[in-house]
Amino acid sequence: MNKVTCFLSYSHESYNRPLFTRMQNFITQRPDLINYSEREDKSNCSDDTIWNYLHKRISGSTCTILLVTKDLLTFNKWKIGYVKGSFAKSGWIYNEISASLRDWEDNRINGLVCVLCDGISYSNFCSNMPEILKAGDNSKYIVTTTYDEFIVNTRYYIQKALENRKQQIENHKWQIVYNLHA
Please write the tens of the pLDDT for every residue from 91-118. Answer: 889 888 888 887 665 667 889 999 999 8
CA 174 and chain centroid, separation: 15
Domains along the chain with CATH numbers = 4-171 (3.40.50.450)
CA 35 and chain centroid, separation: 14
Residues 19/69, Cβ–Cβ less than 8 Å: yes
Predicted structure pTM score:
0.88
pLDDT digits (tens, 9 = 90+) for 26-41: 999 999 999 988 767 7
**What CA dihedral angle connects 30, 31, 33 and 38, to 10 degrees?**
70
